[in-house]
């Protein structure tokens, strides 16, 4: 057994695991690019204060933080949001609006590792800055769903739960709750799905018993699954703010429906997301079977850029984690296996033939064909087995008989057909073969 093991929650990526990771990254990048998002990157190590300012002092317990040799308090980034807010804030006036940016990066959190949660993990992060209206939400939720569908996932596999902190604020205000009670109630709502009635305990300890009528209204609000039900519930409450907010809801859901994405999105006010900096719509993606942790989460955070020292700049963003998504893809059989296949495998008779083959091998590789051969002498019969295992579509056979006649034998690995090709025309033959695919 090895003397040293990797730290808890830190993963090693053997080639097959890295191939799966790259597959995920590739489709994320491709998808973001089709949506017109630009990729950026940023430091892994940041001033500790950046995260304390954003999330409060308690956050330090969840961070990989330390003092560097210059006496600076630093932390490995646990998320991208504060960093990207700083970057955008610093050049806000020079950036063309809307600012649509994405990144694929590794994050570090000092937490107990569990299924679907590691201490080091990757996230796809997408944000839109400078757009206060719900059009930004449409764009991002569309991107989120496509970032899942690109892998072959369907509405049978995942869905996005859409909620709204503003709606809760307006509704609870109309029900007569002050700000402190509202925050406590949102915290209870956040816990309700997991804890049930117990979720209200903390609220009642703080603010006294919840009246039966109030509780019934809260629970009814949580049951709402459609826009129609939402409008029906809020109609008697009235108020301009609520009316305007419902118009935003109609815009978001209408836009997503027009994109054909309605089947992925559910109204679900049970999602409030713990962190206090969200200022409007919030959403999370889950697997339909409810077996896994959240796959993605995001929302609007209009105050954060200013809070971190930039100008007033509205923003919406979300992140998808690689761990839970990877688990879901494995469970649905959507993770490809053979990734390192060759195009061409060379079967080589002996040492003399090897020298002749090398010229072609190098030329083929330079021309971009994935070309492999047995690195040391191997029995002829076994080489065909190796060729088969390599995944190559074509085997080039450099035998003594062929080379004596100035030929190379070419075997089509799928239909086993063979033909002789003049040695000088091998490259041309290969081009035709792969060009005609």
Partner RNA sequence: GCGGUCAUAGCUCAGUUGGUUAGAGCACAAGAUUGUGAUUCUUGGGGUCGCGGGUUCGAAUCCCGUUGACCGCCCCA
Whole-number Å distance between alpha carbons of 121 and 321 = 7
35 burial level (CB within 10 Å; 0-12, 13-18, 19+): middle
Q: Which of 262, 356, 363, 413 binds RNA (CB under 7 A)?
A: 413
Q: Which is nearer to RNA, 124 or 253 (CB)?
A: 124
**Which residues from 157-216 bind RNA, rule CB under 7 A?**
191, 194-195
**Whole-number minimum distance, CB 198 to RNA, in Å?**
8
Query: Which of 312, 359, 344, 372 is closest to 129 using CA atoms?
Result: 312
Q: Is 427 in the site for RNA (CB under 7 A)?
A: no
CA end-to-end span of the chain, whole Å? 48
Q: Is 385 in the site for RNA (CB under 7 A)?
A: yes
Q: Is 420 within 8 Å of 409 (Cβ atoms)?
A: yes
Fill in the per-residue mask, 7 to 36: x = in contact with RNA (CB under 7 A), - = not in contact.
-xx---------------------------
Q: Give the Cβ contact number of residue 266 at 10 Å.
A: 16
Cα 191 to Cα 86, 113, 186, 267, distances in angstroms: 32, 21, 9, 18
400 burial level (CB within 10 Å; 0-12, 13-18, 19+): exposed
**Which residues from 231-290 bind RNA, rule CB under 7 A?**
273-275
Q: Which is nearer to RNA, 59 or 344 (CB)?
A: 59
**Whole-number minimum distance, CB 262 to RNA, in Å?**
25
Q: Is 419 in the site for RNA (CB under 7 A)?
A: no
**Which residues from 55-114 bind RNA, rule CB under 7 A?**
55, 59, 62-63, 78-79, 81, 109, 111-114
Q: Which of 24, 28, 48, 51 binds RNA (CB under 7 A)?
A: 51
**Whole-number minimum distance, CB 416 to RNA, in Å?**
4
The crossing angle, in degrees rounded to 10, of helices 135-149 and 240-258 is: 40
Q: Is 60 within 8 Å of 124 (Cβ atoms)?
A: no
Whole-number Å distance between alpha carbons of 202 and 183 = 11
Whole-number Å distance between alpha carbons of 271 and 192 = 10
Q: Which of 67, 154, 223, 388 binds RNA (CB under 7 A)?
A: 388
**Whole-number minimum distance, CB 431 to RNA, in Å?**
21
Q: Which of 293, 307, 354, 370 binds RNA (CB under 7 A)?
A: 293
- DSSP-derived letter for residue 61 is G
Phi, psi for 150 (deg, rounded to 5): -60, -20
Applying CB under 7 A, the site for RNA has a residue count of: 54
* Positions in the binding site for RNA (CB under 7 A): 1, 5, 8-9, 51, 55, 59, 62-63, 78-79, 81, 109, 111-117, 191, 194-195, 273-275, 293-294, 297, 319, 349-350, 378-382, 384-385, 387-388, 395, 397, 399-402, 409, 411-414, 416, 418
């Amino acid at each position: 057994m090895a003397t040293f093991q990797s730290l808890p929650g830190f993963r090693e990526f053997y080639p097959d695991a890295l191939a799966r990771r790259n597959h995920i990254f590739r489709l994320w990048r491709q998808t973001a690019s089709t949506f017109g998002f630009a990729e950026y990157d940023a430091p892994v190590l940041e001033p500790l204060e950046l995260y304390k300012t954003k999330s409060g002092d308690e956050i330090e317990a969840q961070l990989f933080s330390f003092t560097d040799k210059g006496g600076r308090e630093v932390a490995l980034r646990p998320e991208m949001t504060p960093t990207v807010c700083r970057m955008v804030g610093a050049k806000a006036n020079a950036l063309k609006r809307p600012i649509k940016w994405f990144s694929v990066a590794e994050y570090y959190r000092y937490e107990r590792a569990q299924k679907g949660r590691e201490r080091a993990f990757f996230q796809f992060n997408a944000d839109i800055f400078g757009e206060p209206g719900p059009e930004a939400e449409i764009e991002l939720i569309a991107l989120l769903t496509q970032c899942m569908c690109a892998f072959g996932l369907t509405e049978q596999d995942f869905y996005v739960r859409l909620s709204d902190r503003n709606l809760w604020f307006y509704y609870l205000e109309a029900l007569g709750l002050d700000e402190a009670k509202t925050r406590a109630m949102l915290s209870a709502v956040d816990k309700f799905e997991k804890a049930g009635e117990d979720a209200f305990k903390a609220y009642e300890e703080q603010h006294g018993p919840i009246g039966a009528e109030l509780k019934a209204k809260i629970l009814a609000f949580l049951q709402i699954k459609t826009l129609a039900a939402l409008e029906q519930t809020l109609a008697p409450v009235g108020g301009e703010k609520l009316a305007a907010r419902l118009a935003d809801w109609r815009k978001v859901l209408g836009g997503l429906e027009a994109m054909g994405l309605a089947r992925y999105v559910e109204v679900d006010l049970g999602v409030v997301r713990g962190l206090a900096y969200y200022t409007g719509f919030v959403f999370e993606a889950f697997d339909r079977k409810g077996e896994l942790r959240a796959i993605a989460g995001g929302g609007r955070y209009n105050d954060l850029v200013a809070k971190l020292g930039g100008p007033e700049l509205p923003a919406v963003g979300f992140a998808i984690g690689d761990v839970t998504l990877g688990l879901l893809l494995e469970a649905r059989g959507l993770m490809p296996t053979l990734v390192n296949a060759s195009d061409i495998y060379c079967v080589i008779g002996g040492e003399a033939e090897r020298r002749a083959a090398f010229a072609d091998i190098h030329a083929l590789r330079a021309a971009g064909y994935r070309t492999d051969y047995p690195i040391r002498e191997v029995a002829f019969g076994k080489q065909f087995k190796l060729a088969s295992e390599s995944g190559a579509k074509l085997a080039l056979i450099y035998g003594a008989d062929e080379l004596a006649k100035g030929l190379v034998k070419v075997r089509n690995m799928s239909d086993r057909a063979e033909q002789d090709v003049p040695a000088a025309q091998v490259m041309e033959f290969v081009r035709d073969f792969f060009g005609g695919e």
